[in-house]
Amino acid sequence: MLKTLASLIRNATGDDMQNTFDLVIIGSGPAGRRAAIQAAKLDKRVLVIEKFPRVGGVSVHSGTIPSKTLRETVLNLSGWRERGFYGRTYKVKNNITVDDLKHRLSQTLNHEVDVLEHQFSRNGVTLEKGHARFVSRNEIEVSGPSGQKTTYTFKSALISVGTKPYRPDNIPFDGTHILDSDEILSIEALPRSLTVIGAGVIGMEYATIFSALDISVTVIEPRAHILSFIDDELIAEFTHELRDRGIKLRLGCRAERVTREDRHCFVDLSDGRRVKSEMVLYAAGRVGASADLGLETIGLSPDSRGRLKTDPASFETEASGVYAAGDIIGFPSLASTSMEQGRIAVCHAFDLINPPKPEHFPYGIYSVPEISTIGYTERELREKRIPYESGVARLRETSRGHIMGLQRGMLKMLFHLETQKILGVHIVGEGATELIHIGQAALVLDGTLSYFIDNVFNYPTLAEAYKIAALDAWNRIALHAPVVAEPAESAELSIVNG
């Protein structure tokens, strides 16, 4: 009898232990995933709760990875990268179908999920499938797929539930022709024409990807400019290319009404115009997935777009010990920054001292052509009255650019006029999202113009554009201060540079 009682007590304590975690994470997207691994590396007991049947979040299932896989497939099958040499009608595969595009998508997603699940199990992270809700300041209830409920106790929690597409009432979404940015991945046939409502990052990525398939694309945006956080000169170059390709930009007007008649959709614009296409993609914003999380029980209330406020240094919310990271806290809403926020939150929760966050992070837009940027734009420098000079290189000025048949694309660097420190790097064109990291390293390490002039670059590379841009800036800075000694290469490369 005594033995049974003892084992009962031990089991009860064991169960309690089993349901008690140092850190509970809601959501297995980039923020939750990175936070979980960081906490596991600190030997903490970690539980990740995910309501979707597979781990990975929006990033793996409907955002970053699917859209980038689609982009890569489109560029490969359409022969896009070779058209500089073989002409606009060149294609690797004629009659590209949705099945061609989906084939690569499912393989990539399965691989990403495998890697993630393995990472969790290797690091001893417990994974629970179900919908999580706070029931008290240190308890969370999970409703599993078959309705069973389990309560877990935690010391710290991270809310990394991400966002979902914004679906306003005046848009008659039908899942086949009038779609949001999650649904666009499940279309059954490619349209001959597409209207994209919203010229933000997601809208521009899909607009340019579909246009690369020779689908006629119209973009509608209420603001007068697209991607206004990007350097103006880059956007001018980008929009010039889009117009040249026949993408129609309807800027400064709203989509007031969307209707569908037989095979066609019609979008009535606030300026009286009407756009006709076979398909409409509504990509004007996302809202935080904070509903039904029981946030009121821990004293938190999201803003009108469902987003949570956190301390910018630690990502702790107003509820002590409860953190939020990733898209649920708003800008910049990137997988890359979400991961870092998750990691920083965990370090703060477990008193690990972190170096201060870098002042600048890179932004990658995987449109066709791609755009990437870090640091200040010219507009910001003028607003801050920081004296600067710019240096510009065209990718076609590099030998690698010639070999690749690149006719477009530019790299611009901004330098402090007096110290010659790098203040910003802005790239549009092939390889921009990779090339940016050279500029990022130099910028974050307080590099100056001379780094690019004095160091040897592999030849032929697109990275040589940095050297050309630096020499261009040097030539311009020399005009302000004519006594500066001329770098050895300047005479030669400035000829290339025009």
Ligand X SMILES: Cc1cc2nc3c(=O)[nH]c(=O)nc-3n(C[C@H](O)[C@H](O)[C@H](O)COP(=O)(O)OP(=O)(O)OC[C@H]3O[C@@H](n4cnc5c(N)ncnc54)[C@H](O)[C@@H]3O)c2cc1C
Span interacting with ligand X, options 62-70, 100-108, 405-413, 476-484, rule CB under 6 A:
62-70
Kindly tell me which residue out of 218, 310, 333, 372 binds ligand X, with binding defined by CB under 6 A.
333
151-190 positions binding ligand X, by CB under 6 A: 160-163, 181
Span interacting with ligand X, options 22-30, 99-107, 209-217, 241-249, rule CB under 6 A:
22-30
Angstrom distance (rounded) from CA 332 to CA 165: 16
The answer to whether residue 50 forms part of the interface with ligand X (CB under 6 A) is yes
Q: Considering beta carbons, is residue 329 or 381 the nearer one to ligand X?
A: 329
The answer to whether residue 27 forms part of the interface with ligand X (CB under 6 A) is yes
The answer to whether residue 284 forms part of the interface with ligand X (CB under 6 A) is no
Asked whether 28 and 48 are in contact (CB, 8 A), the reply is yes
What's the start-to-end Cα distance of the chain, in Å? 94
- Least Å from the CB of residue 287 to ligand X: 11
Give the residues across from 154 on adjacent strands.
21
Kindly tell me which residue out of 132, 171, 265, 295 binds ligand X, with binding defined by CB under 6 A.
132
The answer to whether residue 202 forms part of the interface with ligand X (CB under 6 A) is yes
- Least Å from the CB of residue 205 to ligand X: 6
Kindly tell me which residue out of 45, 51, 400, 408 binds ligand X, with binding defined by CB under 6 A.
51
Q: Give the x/- contact pattern for ligand X in 69-88, rule: CB under 6 A.
A: --------------------
Q: ∠ CA(31), CA(161), CA(221), 5° rounding?
A: 95
The answer to whether residue 338 forms part of the interface with ligand X (CB under 6 A) is yes
The answer to whether residue 327 forms part of the interface with ligand X (CB under 6 A) is yes
481: its two tokens: 């201060």
Span interacting with ligand X, options 36-44, 52-60, 412-420, 442-450, rule CB under 6 A:
52-60
The answer to whether residue 64 forms part of the interface with ligand X (CB under 6 A) is yes
* Residue located via tokens 């006594």: 483
Kindly tell me which residue out of 21, 37, 67, 207 binds ligand X, with binding defined by CB under 6 A.
67
Angstrom distance (rounded) from CA 430 to CA 462: 9
Span interacting with ligand X, options 43-51, 398-406, 417-425, 469-477, rule CB under 6 A:
43-51
Q: Considering beta carbons, is residue 64 or 211 the nearer one to ligand X?
A: 64
The answer to whether residue 52 forms part of the interface with ligand X (CB under 6 A) is yes
- Least Å from the CB of residue 29 to ligand X: 2
Angstrom distance (rounded) from CA 146 to CA 128: 13
- Least Å from the CB of residue 5 to ligand X: 38
343: its two tokens: 């990691």
The secondary structure of the chain, three-state, reads CHHHHHHHHHHHHHHHHHCEEEEEEECCCHHHHHHHHHHHHCCCCEEEEECCCCCCHHHHHCCHHHHHHHHHHHHHHHCHHHHHHHCCCCCCCCCCCHHHHHHHHHHHHHHHHHHHHHHHHHCCCEEEECEEEEEECCEEEEECCCCCEEEEEEEEEEECCCEEECCCCCCCCCCCCEEECCHHHHCCCCCCEEEEECCCHHHHHHHHHHHCCCCEEEEEECCCCCCCCCCHHHHHHHHHHHHHCCCEEEECCCEEEEEEECCEEEEEECCCCEEEECEEEECCCEEECCCCCCHHHHCCCCCCCCCCCCCCCCCECCCCCEEECCHHHCCCCCHHHHHHHHHHHHHHHCCCCCCCCCCCCCEEECCCCCEEEEECCHHHHHHHCCCEEEEEEEHHHCHHHHHHCCCCCEEEEEEECCCCEEEEEEEECCCHHHHHHHHHHHHHCCCEHHHHHHCCCCCCCCCHHHHHHHHHHHHHHHHHCCCCCCCCCHHHHHHHCC
408-447 positions binding ligand X, by CB under 6 A: none
- Least Å from the CB of residue 464 to ligand X: 26
The answer to whether residue 49 forms part of the interface with ligand X (CB under 6 A) is yes
Kindly tell me which residue out of 37, 40, 45, 63 binds ligand X, with binding defined by CB under 6 A.
63
Kindly tell me which residue out of 21, 23, 25, 32 binds ligand X, with binding defined by CB under 6 A.
32
**Size of interface with ligand X, in residues (CB under 6 A):** 38
- Least Å from the CB of residue 150 to ligand X: 13
Type of residue found at 496: V
Span interacting with ligand X, options 97-105, 150-158, 167-175, 334-342, rule CB under 6 A:
334-342
The answer to whether residue 340 forms part of the interface with ligand X (CB under 6 A) is no
Span interacting with ligand X, options 265-273, 320-328, 422-430, 479-487, rule CB under 6 A:
320-328
The answer to whether residue 293 forms part of the interface with ligand X (CB under 6 A) is yes
Span interacting with ligand X, options 23-31, 214-222, 353-361, 387-395, rule CB under 6 A:
23-31
Kindly tell me which residue out of 21, 23, 25, 29 binds ligand X, with binding defined by CB under 6 A.
29
Kindly tell me which residue out of 334, 393, 404, 462 binds ligand X, with binding defined by CB under 6 A.
334
What is the binding site for ligand X (CB under 6 A)?
26-32, 49-52, 57-59, 63-64, 67-68, 131-132, 160-163, 181, 202, 289, 293, 326-328, 333-336, 338, 364, 366
